[in-house]
Copies of this chain bind each other. A is one copy, B any other.
Amino acid sequence: MKNGKYGISDVAEMLGVSKSTVSRVINGNEGVGPELRKKVMDFINEIGYQPNTIAQSLSKGRMNIVALILGDIRNPFYADLTFNIQRILNDNGYMVMVLNSEYNIDRELEFLKLTEQFNFAGLILITAQEKAIEERLKNMEMPKVLVNRILPYYTGDSVLIDNFQAGYQATMHLIELGHRHIGFIKGPGVSSASSQRFAGYRQVLENYGFSFDEKCVFESDLKLETGRALAQQFLEIKERPSAMVVVNDMTAIGFMDGCRKAGIRIPEELSIISFDDIAMASMYGIELTTISQHVDEMGEKAAHLMLKQLNDKDAKTERIIMEPTLIVRKTTCECSEI
């Protein structure tokens, strides 16, 4: 080899055996006598030979890398998910390529293209409910796992929270505390998780005959700063709701911050409930009432679904649905305006 490193041919030559033999030893394939095998192994360790992954991949037709497409790694929910997925896949011989779509469809499509060009072994998606995406996915013949999202015609493996139920549950919690005028902060329009939660919220309103007020619905890109900014818009509402359901903890924390800095007392004047239960949510001074998505478990299940497909091309598809859990802390209380 040029690079000063050894190639399989070098090893074979120096050892006086064929490349095939060395290849078999590297991959632990049978068909090599014990003595020869040991001899090759020892020699490889001695000179520090490392097989070239690119060449292996080209030959095998696929790379042992799994792509993970998500919105923004800075969101703790995604970071937690990523960490667990990565840990498990790494331990099983795969690397994980994290791709930040920044909630942008074109970027996602671009990543899907790259996923094909790189011949990645698999694809884990926390992605947009967008026709273009779904169309593209159909033509990609590789292990796929959809996480916490729904695509109408997608039939492959997926692990998700019952987000409708989560939205319903969150809103019910507020109703039970006596709230009647409840607002909502949505996520990006392309997030099915957000849509489902919103649908659950609407359902409660309808079931209990409370009117839905368009002016009390906002949209966030799930970032802390955005939540803070939305507080300004919230302040301008004439008849402010007594409670808000917020699409995720990060937005809620920012929103709370903005409201409190404007003098609104939480929860006395405004109850807030959100979704995710990130680590920060339990902190003194934050203590957010939230709906847990069991993110660790979710990541582990996603990773295992991927491994299953990776190891068995014909494995039956699974659709794992997890139950959300209400965690009551200190940002919700009984409505004082009754």
Contacts and interface: CB of A to CB of B under 8 A. Distances in A.
Interface of A: 2-5, 50-55, 57-58, 61, 63, 65, 72-74, 76, 79-80, 82-83, 86-87, 90, 95-100, 102, 113-114, 116-119, 141, 224-225, 253-254, 256-257, 260-261, 279-280, 282-286
B86 A79 contact: no
A145 to B, nearest CB: 19
B73 A283 contact: no
A86 B61 contact: no
Contacts of A141: 3-4
Nearest to A86: B100
Given A97-B97, A98-B98, A50 B117 contact: yes
A285 B258 CA distance: 12
Contact of A286 (B50, B55, B285): B285
A76 B80 CA distance: 11
A112 B65 CA distance: 16
A253 B287 CA distance: 13
Contacts of A52: 58, 117, 119
Given A73-B79, A284-B256, A54 B58 contact: yes
A73 B83 contact: yes
Chain multiplicity (copies): 2
Contacts of A97: 65, 95, 97
A80 B116 CA distance: 28
Contacts of A96: 98
A178 to B, nearest CB: 25
Contacts of A260: 284-285
22 contacts: A3-B141, A4-B141, A52-B117, A53-B114, A53-B117, A54-B57, A54-B63, A54-B118, A73-B73, A73-B82, A86-B98, A87-B100, A87-B102, A95-B114, A224-B279, A225-B279, A254-B283, A257-B283, A260-B284, A260-B285, A283-B286, A285-B286
A201 B119 CA distance: 50
Nearest to A95: B97
Top 3 nearest A-B pairs (CB, nearest first) are: A285-B285, A260-B284, A53-B117
Nearest to A64: B118
Contacts of A80: 74
A200 to B, nearest CB: 28
Contacts of A3: 61, 141
B74 A79 contact: yes
A256 B286 CA distance: 12
Contacts of A100: 83, 86-87, 90
Nearest to A4: B141
Contacts of A283: 253-254, 257, 285-286
A203 to B, nearest CB: 32
A135 to B, nearest CB: 13
Contacts of A99: 95
Nearest to A83: B74
